[in-house]
Structures are given as structure tokens and as C-alpha cells.
Structure 1
Amino acid sequence: MADEGGLVERLSELLASGEVPVDGRLPAERDLAERFSVSRAKLRLALDRLEKEGTIYRRQGRGTFAAPPVSHGSTALCRLAREATPQDVMEVRLEIEPALAAHAATRARNGDLARLEQLMLATIDLAERATYETADDIFHYNIAVLARNPLFLEIYDSIRTVRKLAAWGNIRRESHTPEVMAKFGEQHRALFAAISSRDGPKAARLMEEHLRDVNHMVLRGVRHSGA
């Protein structure tokens, strides 16, 4: 029977294997326990460790995910995705995310910061637009997680879902030139520095400045696309 460290390694191999479905949802705990021939109690310990590392995401009533989950099944969010404009989404992000950054600066634990730094570095010096988009998404999502407020996180989840389901969702990705990605990566670096130094007001200010630049890029993309 595998020890916890070995089990964590085998679970990590599963996450990297390409077996995980497109929505990122992992098999049920019962199925994973049977697959690795361990008790569910031992499996939960390994999953707890991966969650603390930021490798997986567990959401009550929705399961365990290899990436931040998106609520595809919500009728209300699907309707919002049809009705909301890119500007609608950015207005809400500008209200919510500076507060999340400020809370993350005061509430993140040292281990959280080590993981957030790795996520920040993943957004820097990327040539592929899709790769940058994924790294950027997970970096911002983990700031929301580190705010440690379940209601804030639910609101942020809704924002992410609307962005991903909306017909105009690819505008932002297509606007990511190498210059834009480099600029935003450096903004992420400064934002992480503020969070890691526990400077909540500065983290909020840097997040707002970053999102205003994102908003400018989104509006430019919408004008060029005619959306």
C-alpha cells in the first residue's frame, strides 16, 4: 500500500497524464481509492496535501478539479453569458479583484505565497497565447482563493464562468500580443511582491491598475472584432 508521499506522486502523475477530462474534474474519491488500492482516509490526506499546494481544487458539491472549476451547468450563468458584454465583466472585476488582492495580502500563509509565486512566474516570458491565458487565469483565481472568503470566491467563480461561456470569450486571448503578455507578466510580478510583503493597499492599487490596462486591451479587441 502506498505511503502518503508516494500516493501524492501517483496522483500528480495522473494529473499530468492527459487522462483528466476537458472540464478538469477528477474521478470520485471511491474510484480513486480503488484505482490506487488505498483507503479513502489515506486518499483524502493526499488530496488535502495537493489542495494546500494549489495543485487541485475541491468545491463543495461539485467535486475535485485539476484546474479551477467552471460552472457550466448553471442556467442563470449561461443566460448572463449571453447577455453580459465584455465591459460588464470588466466593471465587476474592477470592483471585486482589488479587494481580493488586499485580502490575499493579509490572509495568505507562507506556503500559499510560495505557490502563488510559481503561478506568477508561469505568466512571464510566454510566447503562446493560450498558455498565457491559462497561466493568467490560474494566477488570478488563486488570489481569489487566498482571500479566504467563500462568498467572494463564489462571486469570482461566476465572473470566470461568464467569461468562459460568452461568445466573445476569445477576444481577450486574440488580443494578447507578445508585448501585451510581457507587460502583464511584469504587472503580475509587482502584484505578487505587494501581496507577499503583506501590503494590502498597494496590492489593491496594483490590481486596479492592471485590470484597467486589461480593460483597455479588451475594449480595443472588441472594436477591432466588431463584437
Structure 2
Amino acid sequence: MALKPATLAQTDLRAAILQGDFSTDGRLPPERVLAEKLAISRTQLRGVLDALAKEGLIFRRHGQGTFLQPPPVQGAERLSALARRVSPRDLMEVRLDLEPALAAHAATRGSTEDKSRLLHLMEDSLMAPDLESYERADDIFHYKIAQMAGNPVFLSLFEEIRTLRQAADWKRTRREALGLEEIAEFSILHSAIANSICAGSAEAARSAMAEHLQQVSHALRRSDTWLESPEV
């Protein structure tokens, strides 16, 4: 079997991660299986995985395997009762209060390396070919900003919101409301957010994140479930 260059394999694996291929419950297949799928050696694969881990797309646990970044949602069962009581409007209201502050903190606290990774993640959302790929890139992008804010309490709150966002009913709502035109508009504002954070401008980052989330809210408001909880 002819082996691919590692750079091409890295591009293939990145695309597969963003499209939801190769993973089961947030875990990538064993190295042997991945190397065969990508037509590269296991030595090449380890270099590819190291590069993607540095970018923030995956994380590796010794003896446990390789996992997608961000980590699988936590506390889904614990939050299931709350998920049945809140509407998309409720969720977006909380995001509008929290995430502009996270973006502002990320601008002043994020390392140079983190900011470089954020630009790569922003580019993934710009290049997303479909809604599923965009949602994956969007999830990673926002999680990275929450990490860069450098406050474990903020990150814990964000993870609670993220768990609610991953609930099946919210996924359905987003997919009914969002099309390629909306994805393109959201991706442009991802650029404004990332560039403001990388420039170290807290207020510009706060403003860009608020504008982005207001734009998302406007798109979701067209959905019939905007004011309704799943139990309604």
C-alpha cells in the first residue's frame, strides 16, 4: 500500500473530525485502525495526532486513547430535567450574558500559542461545507474561547450551557432555522471575534461576540420552538 504524505493525512483527518467521521462517542479509533484508514504509517500518524492536539482539535489520554476536543458533554443525565424546561430563547439569553465576557477575558489572558490555535479553529468554521461540519467547528471555536478566559468557574458554567445546547431538541431547532447563508454570516463574525481576541482588544472581542450571538438569536427566533420548552 502506498503511503500518503503526513501533511495530506493531517488534512484528511481534520476534515473527518469536523464532519463527524472516525469517531464514536467522542473517541477516535485505535492508532492501528486510523493509520489504515488514512493510508499512513503509525509513526506518521503519531506526528499528525500531535499536530492536531496542539491545534486544539483533539486531546490524548495515555492508556485511554484519543478523544475529540472539546470533551464529550458532561452531566447530560443530571441536566435532562432542566433541558426539558428551557426554551432556545432562555439558552441564548444566558449565552449573551456569559460569552461576551469570556471573549473579553480571552483577549487579555490567552497566550500567543492559544491565539494562534484560535485562528486555525476560526478558519475551520469559514471552510465548513455543510451545517454538520459548521456546528462541529463552531462548538470547538467557542469552547476554546471559554478555555482561554482562564477561569475554571466560567468554564464550568460554559460546559453546563454546552450540555444543554447538545440536547436533541436544540439540535433540531438549529437545523430547522439555519441554512448556508446563515452559516456564512456567522463565520464572518467568527473572524471578527478571533481577530479581536488575537489583537488583545477586550472590548472589541466583547462587542464582536455579542453581535455574533445576537445574530444567532435572530436566526433561531424564526423557529416555531423559539419560546417553547421541549415539554410544551
TM-score bucket (shorter structure)? 0.7 to 0.9
Relative to structure 1, the CA distance from residue 71 to residue 133 in structure 2 (aligned partners, 3 Å threshold; closer, same or farther) is: closer
Question: Displacement, 1:168?
Answer: 3.3
Q: What does 1:1-227 align with in structure 2 at a 5 Å threshold?
A: 19-21=22-24, 23-25=25-27, 51-57=53-59, 65-71=67-73, 73-222=75-224
Structure 1 portions without partners, runs of 5+: 1-5, 29-35, 37-42
Question: Displacement, 1:163?
Answer: 1.2
Q: Distance in 2 between matches of 1:205 and 1:178?
A: 24
Q: Which amino acid aligns with 1:55?
A: L
Question: Displacement, 1:25?
Answer: 3.3
Q: Which amino acid aligns with 2:177?
A: S
Relative to structure 1, the CA distance from residue 180 to residue 13 in structure 2 (aligned partners, 3 Å threshold; closer, same or farther) is: closer
Q: Distance in 1 between matches of 2:216 and 2:178?
A: 10
Q: Which amino acid aligns with 1:206?
A: A
Structure 2 portions without partners, runs of 5+: 1-5, 31-41
Relative to structure 1, the CA distance from residue 11 to residue 186 in structure 2 (aligned partners, 3 Å threshold; closer, same or farther) is: closer
Segment drifting more, 50-59 vs 83-92: 50-59
Question: Displacement, 1:50?
Answer: 5.7
SS of residue in 2 equivalent to 1:83? coil
Relative to structure 1, the CA distance from residue 118 to residue 53 in structure 2 (aligned partners, 3 Å threshold; closer, same or farther) is: closer
Relative to structure 1, the CA distance from residue 49 to residue 126 in structure 2 (aligned partners, 3 Å threshold; closer, same or farther) is: closer
Aligned residues: 207
State the identity %: 44
Question: Displacement, 1:76?
Answer: 2.5
Relative to structure 1, the CA distance from residue 158 to residue 57 in structure 2 (aligned partners, 3 Å threshold; closer, same or farther) is: farther
SS of residue in 2 equivalent to 1:68? coil
Are the counterparts in 2 of residues 129 and 174 from structure 1 also a CA contact under 8 Å?
no
Question: Displacement, 1:164?
Answer: 0.9
Relative to structure 1, the CA distance from residue 137 to residue 74 in structure 2 (aligned partners, 3 Å threshold; closer, same or farther) is: closer
Q: Distance in 1 between matches of 2:173 and 2:152?
A: 29
RMSD: 3.5
Q: Distance in 2 between matches of 1:180 and 1:120?
A: 16
CA-to-aligned-CA distance 1:180-226 (integer Å, 9 cap, x gap) = 11111111111111101000011001111111111111111236998
Question: Displacement, 1:159?
Answer: 0.6
Relative to structure 1, the CA distance from residue 182 to residue 11 in structure 2 (aligned partners, 3 Å threshold; closer, same or farther) is: closer
Q: Distance in 2 between matches of 1:72 and 1:185?
A: 26
Aligned to 1:32: none
SS of residue in 2 equivalent to 1:168? helix
